[in-house]
Amino acid sequence: MAKTKKVKFKESIGLDIGNHSIKMVHLKKTHHGYKLLNCESLSTIPEGIEPVYSDLSPDRYAPILSQLVKTMKLKPKKIKHLVSSIGGDNTSIKQIRTIFLPDEELESALFFEAKKHLPISGAEMNLDYQVLSVEEKTNNMNILLASSTKALLKEHSHVVTSADLTPGIVDLESLAVANSFILNSEKDDGVYVILNIGAFKTNMVIYSSTSKFFARDIAYGGFNFTKDIMKKQKKSYEEAEVYKLEHGLEEREIDSKKSSLISLDVTEKNTTELITQEVKRSLRFYVKEAGSSDFRKILLVGGSANLRGLSEYFTEQLQIPTEVFNPFVNLEDSNRPGTTNDPQFAVALGLAMRPE
């Protein structure tokens, strides 16, 4: 998450390599905050071709990333501050509470502590941490542990270097999306839920400045919405994608000529219902663990955040106000014609705004 350390860089690049597309944001530090110099996104999957997740190889990223660098008119050797992210099954993050330890003892002690809380074996683990606070009464420390496998970091580094870029800071996807909210939103008390809806999964983050940090992945994303339409309406993948973008969660009933939310058979839940079910479970778990239920808002980011009817559905089902998050709301962007508020850039923006 965002640290209080002073920002030293003048310009920065945030790089979000997702399963469906690669997003990049180029920022310049100003006296008043940040100026948006450019942002672009390129798909890593051929248009109209139904993707098979198990067949998607990391080898496809490098040429797309190289093309993205050219599209943004960047010179790789001149990029001084590149921040990228990793996510998925081989990453983990958890907030823990432990006794106070001096800096020289903390790192080694946390490595053993992490084995109790994180599902990555010690031999494979790359561990990092941030001390969030020290409790005045008990002197206990609240610490955020983040880990990944060494193999994942090596693979990520290979993709970046294959595009002639020099790897810089690597953050976890959950922290980047939280940073995008923390650094680019009005400060407010309460608990916020951020749903980063990608192609094949939804990354859920629960953030509060005064309560526990929580993150998890939900195994459904934009591709699953398309599969629902393919099954319900007997459409091809390409036809279903077009329909999804045009109609979202609304389906025209031919007989009654009325609009309704997509629904499959009673015995089978659709993607919207499955995501909602998992969010409810996570919220119940959070209330039990953190002791706080002051949920102010659900913010939607990611490639499928703008799906028509989705925010209204979550508001109705979860009884929490839901809206699409505009990650660019507080940026200066006079240099870029056609200013975007596209929520798919939230992770890349959070990375670009990350302090050194």
What's 355's domain CATH number? 3.30.420.40
Q: For the chain of 356 residues, list the mean pLDDT of each consecutive stretch of 10.
A: 58 94 93 88 89 83 95 92 92 89 85 78 82 88 91 94 94 94 79 96 93 93 94 93 88 41 59 96 95 93 94 96 90 60 92 85
In a domain, 140, yes or no: no
192 and 166 in a common domain: no
Per-residue pLDDT, 189: 81
What global pTM score does this model have? 0.89
Amino acid (one-letter) located at 259: S
In a domain, 122, yes or no: no
Domain count, the chain: 2
In a domain, 72, yes or no: yes
In a domain, 97, yes or no: no
In a domain, 174, yes or no: yes
156 and 53 in a common domain: yes
Per-residue pLDDT, 18: 92
286 and 173 in a common domain: no
38 and 163 in a common domain: yes
Per-residue pLDDT, 110: 86
230 and 166 in a common domain: no
Closest CA to 279 of 190, 200, 217, 209: 217
Per-residue pLDDT, 287: 95
In a domain, 99, yes or no: no
331 and 202 in a common domain: no
331 and 268 in a common domain: no
Contacts of 32 (CB under 8 A, 6+ apart): 332
Contacts of 301 (CB under 8 A, 6+ apart): 177, 180, 194, 195, 196, 197, 324, 325, 327, 343, 344, 346, 347
Q: What are phi and psi of 293, to 5 degrees?
A: -130, 25
Which CA distances in Å does 141 have to 102, 210, 212, 355? 11, 14, 13, 22
In a domain, 115, yes or no: no
Instruction: Write out the residue range of the structural domain in which residue 23 sits.
Output: 1-90+150-184+327-356
